[in-house]
Amino acid sequence: MDSEIHLAFPTPIMVGRLDRDFTPEELAFINEQKNNTAKNYGNKTSVNSYVLNSPELKELKEYVTLFIEAYVQTVYKPKEPIEMYITQSWLNYTAKGEHHHMHTHSNSFISGVLYIEADREQDSVWMYKSAHNYIALDPYHCDELNGDTWVQKVGTSDIIVFPSNVPHSVGKVTSDKTRVSLAFNSFLRGTLGKEAEKTELKL
C-alpha cells in the first residue's frame, strides 16, 4: 500500500549550543546566587528572578533573546514585525538526588533553559504531550508519532526553547556535581492578528 505520514501541528522544540565558554565574570555571578536560594519542588532556585537583567549576564541575555527571536521567525513566520523580550529569568541548582518537577510556565509565550553545568551522558529534559490520549495502545516502538514523552539530552552550554505551555521536567541528578541551569520566560511586542477578523491585538 502506498501512503505517506504527515506531521500536522507538531510541537516545535529548538535546541542549540552557546559557541563560547562562560566567562569568569558570568560564572562568579552564577555561583554567588547559590547563597540566596529558595526551596523548589525537588531542587533549589535563585531568589533573584531577573538574573538576565544583571550587568554580568548582559551578553547571555542578548544571546538568549536572539535565540528566541530565531525560534519565532522559524516557526511562526510573522508578517508583522515582532519583538521578543525576556520577562523573568532565574537559576536552578539541582544537587545529587534532587530533581526538577513537571511543570509549565504561565504568563509566558516561549520559555527555555540555558545549561551552565550539565552532563550530557546523564542529564536530560523530559517533554510531555499535554493532550489526553482517549485511546491508549501499547506500542512496540515509541517515536514522535505515538510517544507521550520526548527526552532531550542536555550538556553544559546547551540551550533549549519551547512553547511555555509544554509540560516538562528533569530527572534526578545521579552524579556528585550540581546541575546548574538558567531558565527564562519571554513575551512579545508588536501587532498580533488581523483587524478585519477582529483578532487584532497591539502590544
pLDDT tens-digit map of 138-180: 889 888 888 889 999 999 999 999 999 999 999 899 888 999 9
Q: Which helix (H) or strand (E) holds 31?
A: helix 24-32
Q: How far is CA 108 from CA 11, 99, 112, 186, 188, in A?
A: 16, 23, 11, 5, 9
Return the number of other C-beta atoms located less than 10 Å from residue 16's C-beta.
16
Per-residue pLDDT at 137: 86
Delineate the domains of the chain, giving CATH numbers in brackets. 14-202 (2.60.120.620)
For residue 9, name the pLDDT band (cuts at 50, 70, 90): confident
- Say if residue 7's pLDDT is above 90: no
In sequence order, the 6+-apart residues with CB closer than 8 A to the CB of 49 are 88, 89, 90
> How far is Cα 98 from Cα 180, in angstroms, rounded to an integer?
12
Closest to 123 in 3D by CA, of 149, 102, 153, 98: 153
Per-residue pLDDT at 131: 76
Per-residue pLDDT at 132: 75
% of the chain residues with pLDDT over 70: 100
Q: Compute, in degrees rounded to 10, the torsion defined by CA atoms 58, 59, 61, 65.
A: 140
Question: CB of 141 within 8 A of CB of 91?
Answer: no
Q: Which residue reads 521578543 in cell numbers?
A: 84
The mean pLDDT value for 182-203 works out to: 94
In sequence order, the 6+-apart residues with CB closer than 8 A to the CB of 107 are 87, 185, 187
- Say if residue 118's pLDDT is above 80: yes
Q: Which helix (H) or strand (E) holds 149?
A: strand 149-153
Per-residue pLDDT at 75: 96
For residue 184, name the pLDDT band (cuts at 50, 70, 90): very high
> How far is Cα 185 from Cα 102, in angstroms, rounded to an integer?
16
Q: Provide the grid cell at 111.
A: 520559555
For residue 48, name the pLDDT band (cuts at 50, 70, 90): very high
The mean pLDDT value for 39-45 works out to: 93
